[in-house]
Structure 1
Amino acid sequence: MKYSVVIFPSSQVQEVANSYRKRYDPTYALIPPFIRLKEAFDLEESALPQLVDHLEQVASSTDAFSVRFHRVSTFHPTNNVIYLGIQNKEPFEAIHQKIMAHFAQKEVYAFVPHLTIGRDLADDELKDVVSQLSMAKIDLTTLVDRFHLVYQLEDGTWTVYQTFLLQK
């Protein structure tokens, strides 16, 4: 089965992100807006208890923190993805490193904490949308006090397997 580890921001941030995702993200209906801590990976069910134990240890050794989204950016030309940029990336990088200690295989892309609001756009459309959205004032904050192990269903939707509360 395919799994991932994500953070869902507050409902206020999700509303703003979804106002863009409805138009620019074909995965809009498959998962709420999220910040990915671990790329999607395949895992046998027999290995799940070990991963859950590891994620519980990560959560218990991590303090809750606030995050501020402050701009619209893109990964172009590597990927035609538009995202809300995060101002304070350090807490995400720390939790990502803790999670990755469980995995032998490196990820495909360098870890850049972000909230995707658009993907799979043609180059011209991407440039138009980014230039338009870069003029928007983005100033959103959310408390991060949990992360989630999610899994993908046969229809492509993602659902929460388990939630891990951060130490307060």
Structure 2
Amino acid sequence: MLFGIAVFPEKHVQDLANSWRKRHDPHYCLIPAHMTIREAEEWSDARLQLAIGHLEQVTMGLAPFAIRYNRVSSFYPVNHVLYLALEDAAPVQKLHESICSGPLTVVNPTYVFTPHLTIGQQMSADELHDQYGNLRMQAFDIVTKVDRIHLLYQVENGSWTTHQTFLLRG
């Protein structure tokens, strides 16, 4: 089964992100607005149990924190993705490094981890440039707390469902 780890921002952030995702993100109906902490990967039942034990241990030592999205950015030309970027990515970077250690170490990552909240993807270059041009002129000051992570799995129709939630308890 395919598993991944994500953070869901608070409702006001999801609502804002979804106002763009409805039109510009084909995954809108498959998963709520989120920050991917660990990319999806096929896991056996044994690997799942190792992951759960690791996540329980890691989250015990991590304290909740706040993050601020302060601008729109893009991964163009590598990917046609538009996203909300963080003012300070260090706390999410630390979360990622803690989670992606031990049994959840990513051996050959596809991309350098860049914490972000996708608001558009699989867009044409023209559409991406048009939206980016409009949104980069706007001021953003969106704060949300990060106090839990979610272990997700993908169901047959391609949507994602929470398998287990882990509170940050440090």
Q: TM-score, normalised by structure 1?
A: 0.97
Q: d(CA) in 2 for partners of 1:107 and 1:41? A: 11
Q: 1:132 aligns to what?
A: 134
SS of the residue corresponding to residue 9 of structure 2 reads coil
Deviation at 1:123, TM superposition (A): 0.8
Q: 2:143 aligns to what?
A: 141
Q: Describe how 1:38-77 pairs up with structure 2 within 5 A.
A: 38-77=38-77
Q: Which range moves more in the overlay, 148-157 or 102-111?
A: 102-111
Deviation at 1:156, TM superposition (A): 0.4
- Which blocks of at least 5 consecutive residues in structure 1 are unaligned? none
Q: d(CA) in 2 for partners of 1:57 and 1:89? A: 23
Q: d(CA) in 2 for partners of 1:86 and 1:38? A: 17
SS of the residue corresponding to residue 19 of structure 1 reads helix
Q: Using the aligned pairs only, state the percent identity.
A: 42
Counterpart code for 1:17: A
Deviation at 1:88, TM superposition (A): 1.6
Q: d(CA) in 2 for partners of 1:106 and 1:139? A: 34
Divergent runs of 4+, >6 A: none
Q: 1:158 aligns to what?
A: 160
Deviation at 1:106, TM superposition (A): 2.7
Deviation at 1:104, TM superposition (A): 5.0
Q: Describe how 1:89-100 pairs up with structure 2 within 5 A.
A: 89-100=89-100
SS of the residue corresponding to residue 141 of structure 1 reads strand
Deviation at 1:29, TM superposition (A): 0.4
Q: 1:110 aligns to what?
A: 112
Q: d(CA) in 2 for partners of 1:99 and 1:151? A: 17
- Which blocks of at least 5 consecutive residues in structure 2 are unaligned? none
CA contact (8 A) 1:59 1:165 kept: yes
Deviation at 1:99, TM superposition (A): 1.3
- CA deviations on 1:24-72 (whole Å, 9 max, x unpaired) are 1000000000001001111012221111000111111111000000000
Counterpart code for 2:90: E
Q: d(CA) in 2 for partners of 1:104 and 1:17? A: 28
Q: d(CA) in 2 for partners of 1:28 and 1:74? A: 18
CA contact (8 A) 1:58 1:95 kept: no
RMSD of equivalent CA atoms: 0.9
SS of the residue corresponding to residue 14 of structure 2 reads helix
Q: d(CA) in 1 for partners of 2:10 and 2:86? A: 14
Q: 1:123 aligns to what?
A: 125
Counterpart code for 2:20: Y
Counterpart code for 1:98: S
